[in-house]
Amino acid sequence: MTLEDADVIAGWAADEDFCRAAEWSLGLSREEHRQFQARLICSPPSDLVRLGAVLEGQLVGYLALHGDEPHRRELGFLIGPRTLWGRGLGRATARAGLRRGFEEMHLDEIWAEALDANHASIRILQRLGLRETRPGEPGNYRDQPTYYRQFVITARPDEPPNTPRPQWCGHRREAFTAHAAERTVTSGSSRSERRQCR
Ligand SMILES: CC(C)(COP(=O)(O)OP(=O)(O)OC[C@H]1O[C@@H](n2cnc3c(N)ncnc32)[C@H](O)[C@@H]1OP(=O)(O)O)[C@@H](O)C(=O)NCCC(=O)NCCS
């Protein structure tokens, strides 16, 4: 990602409903958001891989693979602005995260969590084949109390973790169909990242 992207992301944050749905801090100025994003882009934490989703030349979201375990990461994803929701971009972006994690980073396992009331996010994780593991902590979605649900997907469920894999051998290979290209970046939408935002 580039510094220009920091400004685009900061623009999404001007929409309070977007911030509530994304669990971003409310009440920060556009400049504060821009600076925060600029720092993540220029000096990303070592345990974070973030990729921008680009549609027709515009940044429309990003995915994040976060965590310091060698073979396991948390997937986060986000689409902005809110007017782009409901067009399949969220699923395409999350799917790209799985592909990046398994095919290029050679992870054994990717986990994710979403608030129960965040139906689109839950639906994406389920449709991409992640298996629900256990309920997580309580949380709020758009000011309503709810709780986190945790999901996991392994590269190959019938093999123990860390089994060497010469090539892709996991869930279905699917193309990133939403015309969303990737650009290498740094930062994201997982809970651990959101904590950094506060
Ligand atoms: C969650 C988010 C990424 C979804 O993005 P999106 O581009 O709208 O998602 P999609 O268009 O791919 O829709 C995904 C699925 O959710 C469904 N969906 C969308 N909004 C819904 C709603 N309000 N209620 C129920 N289902 C909904 C869609 O119908 C689709 O299901 P389908 O594939 O079976 O048709 C987006 O809302 C977002 O960025 N939210 C803030 C950040 C966030 O919550 N990230 C996820 C946590 S890591």
CATH code, domain carrying 107: 3.40.630.30
Residue 24 within a domain: no
Is the residue at 39 inside a domain?
no
Pocket test for ligand 1, best of 123, 144, 150 (most atoms within 8 A of CB): 123
Residue type, 42: C
Cβ 154 under 6 angstroms from ligand 1: no
Domain tally, the chain: 1
Q: pTM of the predicted model, to two decimals? A: 0.85
Does residue 34 lie in a domain region? no
Read off the pLDDT of each residue in 50-58 and give the average, rounded to a whole number: 96
Least confident of 42-51, 143-152, 158-167: 158-167
Task: Tell whether 153 is covered by a domain.
Answer: yes
* Beta strand pairing call for 72-79 and 109-115: parallel
Distance CA 154, CA 133 (A): 12
- 127 is written with which tokens? 């449709």
**What's the CA gap between 86 and 121, in Å, rounded?**
11
Q: How many degrees, rounded to 5, is the angle at CA 101 between CA 186 and CA 149? A: 90
**Residues 123-139: pLDDT tens digits?**
999 999 999 998 889 99
Give a yes or no: residue 174 inside a domain: yes
Greater pLDDT, 147 or 173:
147
Angle among Cα 58, 194, 32 to the nearest 5 degrees reads 65
5 domain-assigned: no
Tell me the residue range of the domain where 85 lies: 45-191
Distance 194 CA to ligand 1 centre (A): 18
In a domain, 149, yes or no: yes
CA 80 to chain centre: 12
- In whole angstroms, give the CA distance from residue 55 to residue 89: 9
Residue 77 resides in a domain = yes
